[in-house]
Structure 1
């Protein structure tokens, strides 16, 4: 049973960075439609927390689909993370340089694969710098470790399961996208996709969960932002990345069993036969 806070502070990491079981993972990612000047990997290569390996969600993903960065099967996942030096017995600390995108996604991926000793660095690289933490630009030498995948299917939902939840109301479906995309008052950034939302879902923009300094909001603030936080819940977004930020927020409120709809709106709205709601929830 996962308990406690899913986050660690930069001060805690600074004190524990050299512990032999700690593995630090930089998950910095910029969505292609943002047209960022650098890729997440280039950002990591310029400066990262000492010993941090880079986890690229566009490289560690399922094949055979046009959907972006879908969760890979456990064999592929195990093979890739072993090469990063992540394995059984490690305490994994994930961070990024982009407001939990995609540190929360990697946190969720590891948990789906059965590795629950994983935390997210609150405030990311900016918090580390503010704490006076050192940086390096040399890639670490990762020692391959054994990783045993034990898939937690309850943390992952597909389209059929989400459609059933939408029709029955068995789960609260919470959408992390910006409100305009949810209501269909603003376009989707992915060409060809309509905006709108899954019928019965509610909107909680992931950006609202994050303070101006890049840290996650407090428990009391999250309670006001996340609906029915102890109810069975599925989070969704554009492509399954910021949905994990909502799952992280729910975990901070004590609900560690929130599932993520991996294909999210990109998968749902790509089929014109699926129902699309517009306007406020």
Structure 2
């Protein structure tokens, strides 16, 4: 990582000052839960940060054969898709989303999983950018010039159900879903899933790590949240959620705290809650 580019987040001020930097590639990584009935790709067509390209991890940049939603794709597919977006190994990627900090962290985690550390999340996302009356594009997006990207898979950053099952006694597993879903008091948004949580896991709803303006809380505040929930920051850590999106927000916060090795359970509850042979607690 060059010293010129900050990670794991950049401010709106920083991005505004670097819009013309040829190495900076801005990716709109917006995603909406199926229950929201919004189309992130269509919204991107109508409004975006200048020069942004759409990072479609729910449609294109995923494993097309997986039963669970937007599972991590193969290195070859990732290379092809991000290369088509104009991302090279020399690029500094800035991911944002329309919710503030929600799905942009999935993009950040995917790039890191494929060996690209030159990536950051826009702190506060599009809401903060617009609140500050910064320029946006509303005309049709231009087609980026393709680039060459070579992936280097880092398997320690992604966990399977078997990995989680084997780590129940040794790792701190943190669930980013709401307390209601974690405690089986609220229904799951996806049909056919059991209610509850992975045995022994901790609950930190991802909204808890965000300040009122949608930015990440301070490192001291983040540390207090994790330790206050009972997590030992020296233990192996796996984050989980509904489908592997908001778990990446916890991984982002843990990165700030020096835990760059925090792994994400990719299938999360969309897999664990579906498979009857896997244990649950309520």
Specify the TM-score bucket, using the shorter chain as the normaliser.
over 0.9
Instruction: Give the length in aligned residue pairs.
Output: 274
**Contact 1:5–1:251 (CA under 8 A) maintained in structure 2:** no
Unmatched 5+ stretches in structure 2: none
State the 4+ residue runs in structure 1 displaced beyond 4 angstroms.
1-5
Q: Distance in 1 between matches of 2:242 and 2:57?
A: 15
- TM-score, scaled relative to structure 2: 0.93
1:153-232 mapped onto 2 (5 Å cutoff): 153-166=155-168, 169-226=169-226, 227-232=231-236
1:53-72 mapped onto 2 (5 Å cutoff): 53-59=53-59, 60-72=61-73
1:61-210 mapped onto 2 (5 Å cutoff): 61-137=62-138, 138-166=140-168, 169-210=169-210
Structure 2 residue 261 is the aligned partner of structure 1 residue 263: no
**Contact 1:29–1:40 (CA under 8 A) maintained in structure 2:** yes
SS of 1:217's partner is coil
SS of 2:62's partner is coil
Q: Distance in 1 between matches of 2:64 and 2:42?
A: 23
**C-alpha deviations, 1:197-221, integer Å up to 9, x for none?**
1111111110111222211111111
**Contact 2:99–2:127 (CA under 8 A) maintained in structure 1:** no
**Contact 1:234–1:258 (CA under 8 A) maintained in structure 2:** yes
Query: Paired residue for 2:15?
Result: 13
**Contact 1:158–1:263 (CA under 8 A) maintained in structure 2:** yes
SS of 1:254's partner is coil
CA RMSD after TM alignment: 1.6
Structure 2 residue 277 is the aligned partner of structure 1 residue 276: no
SS of 1:135's partner is coil
How far the C-alpha of 1:2 sits from its partner, in A, is: 11
Q: Which residue, 234, 250, 253 being the options, matches 2:257? A: 253
How far the C-alpha of 1:5 sits from its partner, in A, is: 4.4
Q: Distance in 2 between matches of 1:188 and 1:99?
A: 23
**Contact 1:28–1:43 (CA under 8 A) maintained in structure 2:** no
**Contact 2:68–2:271 (CA under 8 A) maintained in structure 1:** yes
- TM-score, scaled relative to structure 1: 0.94
Q: Distance in 2 between matches of 1:157 and 1:134?
A: 39
Q: Distance in 1 between matches of 2:121 and 2:75?
A: 22
